[in-house]
Structure 1
Amino acid sequence: MLYEMLTGEQPYKGDQPMQIAYQHANDTVPMPSAVNPRVPPELDELVLWATARDPEQRPRDARAMLEHLYDLQRGDATAGTSKTMVLPRAMAPVPPAAGQGTTAATGVIGSTGETMVLQKARHRTGPITPTGSSNAQALGRKAAARRKRGFVWLVVVIVLALVVGGAATWFSTGPGAQASVPTVSNTSVADATARLKADGFTVSATQAKTYDAVVAAGQVTGTKPRGGATVHKGSAVQLVVSQGPRILPLPKVVGQQEDAAKKALSKFSVGESSYRFDSHAKGVVLSVAGKNTAGSTVDLGTATTYPERRPITLTVSLGPIPDVTGQSLSAAQATLTGVGLKGVESSSEYSDSVANGNVIRQGASGDGAVVSGSTIDLVVSKGPTPITVPDVTGKTVANAEKTLQNLGLKVTYKDCTTFACKAVAAVGWKNLLTVSTQDPAGQASAFKGDTITLKYNPLSIG
């Protein structure tokens, strides 16, 4: 805008916008006096100062430029020879207000049209190149300033590199280096100490003690700082050594319901209960088992103390095994299935008291405890025991009757009422008469309670 005010035209020209943009980016604004010879060198240099391609070479702000215009208006009283400088009227600075100083050998001496004639000393102040110096000298001074700045930046970069390198060394291998504390839990004190020292840490002479339900007494259960923590390399680490689990009173829970027993044992590690059929009611605790230091199962029925968090297993009653004797085989099997057992017909027997097809007796298969899924052997009745009827023909009626009755059979025959039978009443005709036939016959099958019919010849007396 300043250039156009002095010359009446723009500094860059071209047929295409790209040509003008290229000149803006790569060319230096020409001196206005090349177009308007009336423009004095001071304004040429003012334009070059305001449009320098290096931002560091331009006025720092509009006030700095305005103050320089005031300097041009006032001039320098000690400059000696003065000359006349013509400025566009629009550029003429407003004189300072009263009390802000007066102009020295300077004033408006005439004006025509759009210009004002200023009288000023040839001596220049501010950042403008001294009168008579060449553009080459000005550029040389700028190049030197750039080289100076480049050197300063080089020194800054070197110092920063040294600082960064030193910091890297400090934090990687030097005193400021960080390291992660290794995890050494559940190892011996000797192994834990060796591991920590191998990783560059020191081990405190004193050890912390703690109860631990998992780590065996005398083994390392942790460290201070804890394993995995990031600390300065070479820091001291204290070992935390297990004293084993706390020993606590063991409540008596045999005979209690399972839920109540587990609540009473909450300070211990109560696992899944073991269940079996028993004469006690369903849900009653039958026994308590634990583990010793060797890991073997031990009965805790008489124990009064037990280590904290040590495993405990309860054996709980599933109730009595259902009694299915006298039931049919199918009904007995259904009853046992309903409580998680399996009824199997193991054998059959004759029974005079249990009907054919019903269960005579039951028993657990094997010698172990009856648990869910166990097999129950069922003995099923084949009905009454069959009897082979003996042949009693030829025997006296009395002997035949006794023989058959001893086998559980009933005997029937007609009473002898003949004169001969009455005549031997003192002896008894049954002791004299013999059986001639029987029904069923000898060797036939019968069952206890069946009736055998005997016949005899009443004339055989005598």
Structure 2
Amino acid sequence: MDIQVADTLLGSLIDGRYRIRGRVARGGMATVYTATDERLERTVALKIIHPTQAPDARARLAGFVERFTDEAKTIARLTHPNVVAVYDQGVHNGLPYLVMEYVRGRTLREILIERRRLNPGEALAILDQMLAAIAAAHRAGLVHRDVKPENVLVAEAPSGGAGNLIDSVVKVADFGLARAVEASADEENGGQLMATVAYVAPELVTEGRADPRSDVYSAGIVLFEMLTGRVPYDGDRPVDVAWQHVDRDVPPPSKFVPGLPSVLDDLVTRSTRRDPGERPTDAGALLTEVQGARDDLGNASVNTAVLRQVAQPTMVVSSVQTTDRPSWARLPDQKAAAPAAAPQQPRRRRAAEPADTPPLPERLKAMWQVVMSDRRGRTAVAAAIVVLGLVAALGGWWFGVGRYTVAPELVNMSKAAAEEQAARGGFTITWGDPRHDENIERDVVLSQDPPTSERILKGGTITLVLSLGPERYQVPDVVGKTFDLAQLDLENAQLKVTKGADRYDNNLPAGTVIAVDPAVGTEVKPGDEITVFVSKGRAPITVPNLIGKSVAEARNILAGLNLVARESYVDSDQPKDQVLRQEPADGAGVERGAEVKIDVSKGPPAVIVQRVIGMPCPQAKAALEAQGLTVRVDFNPNGTVAYQQPGENSEVPPATEIAIGCF
């Protein structure tokens, strides 16, 4: 099982005031934690810049902190209900941080991952509040520079309705943060663009400058994504995506979602013009257009309702209702108001038909008799009957059989093969919503309508549904979060949560996740069970330092702490029975009865004494000393060795004294 360990900030106290409780998210520039303000006893969000974003040199770091502080002061002056409030700022271990309002909700990115795209009413409602926040910043002379779904927080609707995004409260975060980081990067690297390429304005790519119209462009891209479930450009490298903003016009959303109102296409097109001069001047100007679009969509709904209301059933109105009108609304009395009757004009009469004209049926009968009395007339009638019969037969065949064929077999084909087969038969292909299948690989046809061999008009349309392959999700990174937050993240990923046995941990506070099984990043099926292991905090017994002590002493110390020594003897040049290593290390917390592994020295390896008898005494002395032994010479030091003690091939410890007798 793979155990992930959270970063060391979890559980730490920042600036003597903010106790970090859990990690919420990690972005490209900073990590966001939940923390408790122990002075005011409230939950806050603490965002700390990554070490990779802060310059290393001290002089540059001082400049970075100064710019970061200036941006933080500017943000703190923004008082708007749609702006995430900034409460405090500071530096921890050389890394700047911001203390902000904690918003209980989700980012717009998380909502789009869950729902893919939003309906027009929801998209405009969220954009309305986004632009209200950005407009407040523009009025204060501040440009956001990094408008994207990750920086848009959507709090629960006041009404509490599930999925009610129209009534949700939207807040925008990270005003000016990109500018503070980018300014320091400019000094260190000679210019560096801090932006998210999927939403970056063209002028930021080509000239590195940004003004309120740059935020307008990014807001237009966010609207495009909310409506279509995708961003307009994609590429293998970020630089390729960035330059597409420069070289191409953003397509209308209705190209990807047919049936969207044209007013939404107009909003996206106006806000994402490549020339900044053709966009709305700032977020406030775009907000006015968005509110107009919302009114237009709302009026369309009202007009429909009015038409339905006007289309009432016809009713007979009694004459009593007329006489019950108020006096000011009554018609004048007809008898009293009527003028003297004018002499009636005689009505014009139609010219009388000749009295001798026979009725129409008799005239038709006479014509039939004339036609049938002539041979050519009878032939013409017979031919007409035959022609009419043929026309009827052909028409019946065509409408009943002739214009139809059978649908081809396209199921289990790849997308390309199905398109080619349908084109050969003259059919048009439309695509239904794809779905996951455990047995059919991705981009293979799962089903078709009409089914194989059923009747279909020649040149008709066949609807195909492609497989998305087996439905798999990666286990999200919940290590370091509280159990409640981890459970919510895992259940949102359609996974079942089981709580494993709590464990002691030296680095994580009690109640935070220390590991999951399967490990973070493992691909699993919806409904798979994930076991979550939670920290009980630091273990109660502290492991002592045993290195350098004898094995007997180490045993006694561990026994006194109710710990168990597990010994392993290893080769070493250290004295025999001396403790060389231990695990866990000294200072670690463990439970009662836990094992402590110690590596114990076997002592230096034995030396095999070589034969020196018959050698000149000085040569023998040098040879033995070369083996790490000490030598005592008896009698004549310039003579020849007659004996040695210990004798040849004896195994002795290093530095053992060898006596040699020379004569």
**TM beyond 0.5:** no
By relative contact order (CA 8 Å, sep 6+), the higher-ranking structure is 2
Larger radius of gyration: 1
TM-score w.r.t. the length of structure 2 is 0.21
**TM-score normalised over the length of structure 1:** 0.28
